[in-house]
Amino acid sequence: MGIRIVIADDHNIVREGIKKILDEVPEFEVVGQVEDGRTLLELIPKLKPDIVIMDVTMPDMNGIEATRRIERDFPKTKVIGLSLHSSRRIVKEMLEAGAWGYLIKNSALKELIDAINTVSSGQKFLCSQITTDVIFDYLKPSDVEEDKAYIWMLSGREREVLQLLAEGFPNREISAKLNVSDRTVEAHRANIMKKLNIHNLADLTKFAIREGITSLES
């Protein structure tokens, strides 16, 4: 059997481009394409992918949160992060979420193929633009500053609510998406602001973009 792959990216042209590359490799089988993390999680039990090529910034549920869910609920599926971003903060978040690899979107095509083969064999993979020294340096405890907001301060559900708030969804639509009451959404919103010490939606949105939870393009 070949390596079963799902491509998760909110840009159709990116998904089709990656699929075209992978279709040329006999041992790869692209079994699905999705445009957001929430849809991806719904389809994994049916598609049973070995590998997910995961865009980091997608609408509704971003790649970082989707990776956390896959690590928790579908541990046999391995994630390779794919992003325009090479910032240490976002790379760190993706790897800590459980990604087995990380590629920049302008990486060489060979690196994409190498990443899939490497991760499938149970090894980690980082593209050549992201050095191990940079990752280790960013993971140092000294990076944590007092009185500064960090995404790990929030629970998984709070991160979901934060993304949807930053993407402009009103409380009623968020409650429908998450199948909770409006009052619960409002409580999550209040907790997010308290934990992060951020007290308006504009600054919450800036924080979400900075942390890779959403993007200006979403």
- Tell me if the pTM is above 0.85: no
Nearest-angstrom CA–CA distance, 155 and 184:
14
Q: Which domains does the chain have, with CATH numbers?
A: 3-138 (3.40.50.2300), 151-210 (1.10.10.10)
**Residue 217 pLDDT:** 62
**Residue 133 pLDDT:** 44
Q: What is the pLDDT along the chain (218 residues), one digit of tens a residue?
A: 699 999 999 999 999 999 999 999 999 999 999 999 999 999 999 999 999 999 998 988 999 999 999 999 999 999 999 988 777 778 888 999 999 999 988 888 889 999 999 999 999 998 877 755 455 555 554 454 545 566 777 888 888 999 999 999 999 999 999 999 999 999 999 989 988 889 899 999 998 888 878 876 65
Distances (CA, A) of 5 to 25, 32, 88, 214: 12, 7, 26, 24
Which amino acid belongs to residue 30? V
**Residue 93 pLDDT:** 86
Q: Are the C-beta atoms of 71 and 81 separated by less than 8 Å?
A: no
